[in-house]
Amino acid sequence: MSRARADEEEYWHSSKFRAFTFDDEDDELSQLKESKQAVNSLRDIVDDDDDDLERVSWSGEPVGSISWSIKETSSSSASSLEGRDSSLQKGSSSYAAFPKQVSSYSLSSLFKGEIPNIQCGQMALSDTGVKNYAPELRRPKAEYKDYSNDWSPKDTVRRMQRGKVCSLERFRSLQDKLVLLDEAVAGHDGNVITAVLIFLKRTLRREILFRELEVRQVALCHLIHFLKETGEQKLLLDLLRPCFFSLSLQLSQYREHLNIQDVEKRREFLKGCIGLPFSAEDTSHIQDHYTLLERQIIIETNDRHLETSGQSEIFRKYPRKASILNMPLVTTLFYSCFYHYTEAEGTFSSPTNLKKTFKIPDKQYVLTALAARAKLRAWDDVDALFTTKSWLGYTKKKAPIGFHRVVEILQRNNAPVQVLQEYVRLVEDVETRLSLATKYKCHDVVIETYKDLKDRIQLTAYKCKVERGSAEEEKINSILNNMVRN
Amino acid sequence: MAAHLSSGRVNLTALREAGRRELREFLDKCAGSKAIVWDEYLTGPFGLIAQYSLLKEHEVEKMFTLKPGRLPQADVKNIIFFVRPKLELMDIITDNVLREDRGRSPQRDFHILFVPRRSLLCEQWLKEQGVLGSFIHREQYSLDLIPFDGDLLSMESESAFKECYLESDQTSLYHAAKGLMTLQALYGTIPQIFGKGECARHVANMMIRMKREFPGSQNSIFPVFDTLLLLDRNVDLLTPLATQLTYEGLIDEIYGIQNTYVKLPPEKFAPKKQGEGGKDLPTEPKKLQLNSAEELYAEIRDKNFNAVGSVLSKKAKIISAAFEERHHAKTVGEIKQFVSQLPHMQAARSSLANHTSIAELIKDITTSEDFFDNLTVEQEFMSGIDTDKVNNYIEDCIAQKHPLIKILRLVCLQSVCNSGLKQKVLDHYKREILQTYGYEHILTLNNLEKAGLLKPQTGGRNNYPTIRKTLRLWMDDVNEQNPNDISYVYSGYAPLSVRLAQLLARPGWRSIEEVLKMLPGPHFEERQQLPTGLQKKRQHGENRVTLVFFLGGVTYAEIAALRFLSQMEDGGTEYVIATTKLINGTSWMKSLMEKLEPAPF
């Protein structure tokens, strides 16, 4: 908790938003406790045979469920299953009562109108005549026999939707094929659309197919999806080459880089992507991606050498956990702040070079550098990060991220109180400063702040938080005395 | 066994029964002993239709999970593959079949059951691999709408939203329409259809076409549903992005509910018997089924989490008191009566124990500082505060490398609540995300833009405030304990989708024409003629039944809000909910993200 409890509550009450905490904290806690107690006390009373009661195996699969049975039947021999089953049946009467299958109708029988009069809840299926209520739902039977050669495109599509086999070969003219495709698209059934596309792909010249798909975006998407799934990369790239297609298709080519394991090849591929007609914004991201990987390859080669040769102290002291290849930019920056902080801007691995090349905003840079240097406990570097010199030669402390964030990060890296205190002092907002100082026991800062606020009461109260006879206590006493005299 | 399905206004057991019957019919076609090889994804949904016992009655002796390599030894006559029509699965099946020992005797017969339907593409694929001829039966099992609870149906089609909005593949809509036809075959023609959105329009068109193309399909069942409301998920992109605050919603947000089951960390469920403390601590996650068959769960699932504690404590008192009764039982009759109630009481106690533990687990998270900060930002956005500039909390989260999905949810929420972000703000977020999480996520960002979740503001107009005010999406005085408005499910935000359903019932959409025009896609009304004699004469005080179909997914909080409306005394409408998939912000985002690991083969 970085925000003091009182603080939080105050924030809540002053805000128009409801806290998602229980209305009455204590009451609620006690309520949960209460029900827990009750539950626990009841354990003693009743014979605790949960397995029987819940009918679930410990992993939670209900006994008899399909996933449970897969485990059972595939792992154990049939005989042990048998034994288990019968014991279960004995164990619990309600379990034994697997409902006997009394149902007398199914979807298909329903459509054939075979059901007599079944009451189910409010639904009464009347027995008005033996006719096909919804024949389109009937399961295809003997469908291979009624084979005809003169189905219209519409009928063909409808038959295919019902899972029947249709010959498409008789659609010979381009005109016919396109009508067929349009019918399929109008049916919204991807299964059929794809089947027709496969037929067109086989029987049409590529240029013609592409040209026609250009004005049929839905069909086009299906073909692209199909090619992706079947791994026909070559045709896919051919499709993508002409630049009349939308942006997402360029991206789908960019996406290919993920399938390339070899870094050098991946880099080459990315280089090729830069030339694709992306939007200006995307082009710059992809350019950055390429530059980053290029950079990482250089750094990786260099550092692996440094590490194995054992020449560099930092690598000996903090061996690398993983390679830097394919890591995000911020991670790379952290890495370079960790291992290459002092390098001159000219080298590829120096943080300042990364910052410049990728136009990393100040805020992000400072955050990352701070985290890296704090991890190494290089407090001087931390100090330098926030020191600016004015043209008159004065030094000034400035943090683009706000000093309360600096304190948080330092604290997370176990900075000693002396270091922490210096930055707590720089937190501008008095409230935040006080709460941080109290939380991290930066006594001097607390005392000074109360002194500036001329808050006798708080100062007196704070006395019990510092050690008896310590310098801090003395300081408080002297301030209090001075305040009286004023 | 399926009592929870018949508890609602519409008896969904009938749908389940129909599904079971069809399954039995198929199994009986393959005479003799059988082994089923399962596409693992299907076991969950199938579990809601049938149990192993049903399969066993039809001579299913073994069941395996589909994986490459040789099929396990099993002395059965038939091997049946239960699979989704996916090419990568066809490759595995091919491998299985090719490795089958041809010399073994007796030979085993192969069959395929495609779920939800046969695919020409897959069969062609098998043909090219030269194994299509090995299969004796190739059939389909149309598992379109699966009953999850007495008022809830789902197609569990994970990628429906992505397919519809990113890939222009409307196959899932075709299945939705088929599912609705099945439903009408069982429960009567639905006389009124309302809809909002492109996909809704498509589904309604397909339904009407399917009906027209099969004359003689005149249905003579008295209609159970009065109205069908089809809603596109992209009409309301906002709701799934916000954190759900109902009990069930939070369980799903935190642990993820799959096919009514949830897996929980086992520590809190360790049996605490005296004298055996500490030993055999379970390490496997505890798995629980969550549905209305459990009385206590049915009572608390839809409550705001802040109201759950008090119910649990009240229940605890009642159960304690009930067990105390045993001291007062003196006569044999009284003791007998007590004993006869014991099983019920034990069940109640065990259910209370489970939910107390779950509530504790959730509370640890909802009281954490990060949950609180995240929620504060969400609520600021939804109430329209500072949506047009870069948000500090989001920046901080990126700097601290919080999970990318969390960042994306927040950024998209901000974008939706501002009718798109200013170009400068959008570029800033994009840059930060790509630099911190990796440039390859440009693919995901592009997907989100295509889906309309993340976009630059066009024309400099922000419609959200108008929509928010007209539909009363933000309520300042929300009562979490005894709610009087649906906004309790998000502690202030009333889900837009459910508001649309509520306003449709009363006073009708005519009152909100202007706002409907601001939301994407057409809105429409269709009527399906009923033969005379089937037209309903409503009894006085009888509620209407509306089926709300969410195309592209629905959250548990939205379901809770609709159940709340069903229970309103003067509501006049009861709701049954259907969807392509039960989702939450995280699972939804995941389905839209590019899979970045390279394919395994």
Contact call for residues B292 and A89 (beta carbons, < 8 A): no
The reported pLDDT for the residue numbered B556 is 98
Say which residue, B257 or A322, is predicted with more confidence. B257
Whether the predicted pLDDT of A107 surpasses 60? no
Per-residue pLDDT band for B271 (boundaries 50, 70, 90) equals low
Helices A206-214 and A233-240: crossing angle, nearest 10°?
Answer: 60
Q: Which residues of B touch A225 (CB under 8 A)?
A: 167, 169
Task: Let me know whether A355 and A267 are in one domain.
Answer: yes
Whether the predicted pLDDT of A239 surpasses 80? no
Q: How far is A6 from chain B, CA to nearest CA, in Å?
A: 13
Mean pLDDT of all residues in B191-204: 96
Distances (CA, A) of A197 to A301, A334, B333, B471: 48, 50, 76, 45
Task: Let me know whether A353 and A435 are in one domain.
Answer: no
Q: How far apart are CA A20 and CA A27, in angstroms?
A: 15
C-beta atoms of B20 and A101 within 8 A: yes
The reported pLDDT for the residue numbered B453 is 96
Whether the predicted pLDDT of A182 surpasses 80? yes
Q: How far apart are CA B403 and CA B364, in angstroms?
A: 19
Task: Let me know whether A393 and A472 are in one domain.
Answer: no
Q: How far apart are CA B17 and CA B429, in angstroms?
A: 51
Mean pLDDT of all residues in B202-221: 80
Task: Let me know whether A381 and A350 are in one domain.
Answer: no
Whether the predicted pLDDT of B312 surpasses 50? yes
Nearest to A131 among B188, B216, B272 (CB): B216
Structural domains in chain B, CATH included, are 3-143 (3.40.50.2060), 144-239+495-600 (3.40.50.1910), 247-270+284-367 (3.90.830.10), 370-461 (1.25.40.850)
Q: How far is A461 from chain B, CA to nearest CA, in Å?
A: 28
Task: Let me know whether A276 and A291 are in one domain.
Answer: yes
Say which residue, A247 or B334, is predicted with more confidence. B334
Q: pLDDT tens for residues A396-434? A: 888 888 898 899 889 988 889 889 988 998 998 889 899
C-beta atoms of B306 and A22 within 8 A: yes
- Is B321 touching A (CB cutoff 8 A)? no
Distance of CA A87 to the CA centre of its chain: 45
DSSP string, B413-444: HHHHTTTSB-HHHHHHHHHHHHHHH-GGGHHH
C-beta atoms of A2 and B168 within 8 A: no
Number of structural domains in chain A: 4
Tokens representing B540 are 């006085």
- Is A292 touching B (CB cutoff 8 A)? yes
Mean pLDDT of all residues in A231-247: 63
Q: How far apart are CA B377 and CA A22, in angstroms?
A: 19
Q: How far is A367 from chain B, CA to nearest CA, in Å?
A: 8
The reported pLDDT for the residue numbered A457 is 86
Phi and psi (nearest 5°) for B21? -60, -45
Q: How far is B208 from chain A, CA to nearest CA, in Å?
A: 12
Mean pLDDT of all residues in B556-561: 98
Mean pLDDT of all residues in B111-117: 91
- Is B436 touching A (CB cutoff 8 A)? yes
Whether the predicted pLDDT of A242 surpasses 80? no
Q: How far is B134 from chain A, CA to nearest CA, in Å?
A: 18
C-beta atoms of A192 and B120 within 8 A: yes
SS3 A445: helix
Residue A310 domain-assigned? yes
Contact call for residues B414 and B387 (beta carbons, < 8 A): yes
Task: Let me know whether A161 and A244 are in one domain.
Answer: yes
Contact call for residues B40 and B81 (beta carbons, < 8 A): no
- Is B286 touching A (CB cutoff 8 A)? yes
- Is B446 touching A (CB cutoff 8 A)? yes
Mean pLDDT of all residues in B20-40: 92
**A118-140: buried (b, 16+ CB within 10 Å) or exposed (e) per residue?**
bebbebebeeeeeeebbebbbbe
Say which residue, B37 or A474, is predicted with more confidence. B37
Residue A448 domain-assigned? yes
Task: Let me know whether A164 and A243 are in one domain.
Answer: yes
Judge residue B342's burial from the number of C-beta atoms within 10 Å of its C-beta, 0-12 exposed, 13-18 middle, 19 or more buried: middle
Nearest to B51 among A35, A44, A65 (CB): A65
Task: Let me know whether A306 and A239 are in one domain.
Answer: no
Q: pLDDT tens for residues A340-355? A: 999 988 899 999 999 9
Whether the predicted pLDDT of A26 surpasses 60? no
The reported pLDDT for the residue numbered B332 is 87
Q: pLDDT tens for residues B378-404? A: 999 999 999 999 999 999 899 889 999
Whether the predicted pLDDT of B1 surpasses 60? no
SS3 B573: strand
Say which residue, B203 or A239, is predicted with more confidence. B203
Range of the domain at A313: 260-360
**Chain A window 376-405: which residues touch B at a Cβ cutoff of 8 Å?**
405
Q: How far apart are CA B557 and CA B241, in angstroms?
A: 12
Task: Let me know whether A275 and A232 are in one domain.
Answer: no
Average pLDDT, chain B: 90
Say which residue, A84 or B435, is predicted with more confidence. B435
| Interface-testing mutation among A65, A228, A358, with chain B (most B C-beta atoms within 10 A) | A65
Please compute, for residue B245, the number of CA atoms within 13 A of its CA located in the half-sphere on the CB side. 32
If you measure CA to CA, which chain B residue comes closest to A355?
A: B435
Task: Let me know whether A352 and A266 are in one domain.
Answer: yes
Distances (CA, A) of B479 to B377, B490, B492, B493: 21, 11, 9, 12
Tokens representing A194 are 């794809």
Residue A62 domain-assigned? no
Nearest to B222 among A124, A192, A358 (CB): A124
Average pLDDT, chain A: 73
The reported pLDDT for the residue numbered A6 is 46
Per-residue pLDDT band for B491 (boundaries 50, 70, 90) equals very high
The last residue of one of the domains, among A329, A360, A391, is A360
Mean pLDDT of all residues in A52-66: 48
- Is A407 touching B (CB cutoff 8 A)? no
Nearest to B21 among A21, A106, A218 (CB): A106
Mean pLDDT of all residues in B316-339: 85
Mean pLDDT of all residues in B88-98: 92
Contact call for residues B543 and B151 (beta carbons, < 8 A): no
Q: How far is A456 from chain B, CA to nearest CA, in Å?
A: 32
Per-residue pLDDT band for B420 (boundaries 50, 70, 90) equals very high
Distances (CA, A) of B248 to B256, B282, B358, B375, B484: 10, 24, 10, 17, 19
Residue A239 domain-assigned? yes
Whether the predicted pLDDT of A114 surpasses 90? no
Distances (CA, A) of A199 to A166, A169, A194, B132: 12, 8, 9, 19
Per-residue pLDDT band for B466 (boundaries 50, 70, 90) equals very high
The reported pLDDT for the residue numbered A217 is 81
The region of weakest confidence among A143-152, A315-324, A333-342 is A143-152
- Residue B99 CB contacts under 8 Å (≥ 6 apart), including other chains: B69, B70, B71
Q: What angle do CA B186, B190, B195 make, to 5 degrees?
A: 130
Torsion of CA A233, A236, A242, A247, to 10 degrees: -100
The reported pLDDT for the residue numbered B558 is 98
Mean pLDDT of all residues in A72-84: 44
Tokens representing A265 are 């090849």
Residue A277 domain-assigned? yes
The reported pLDDT for the residue numbered A145 is 41
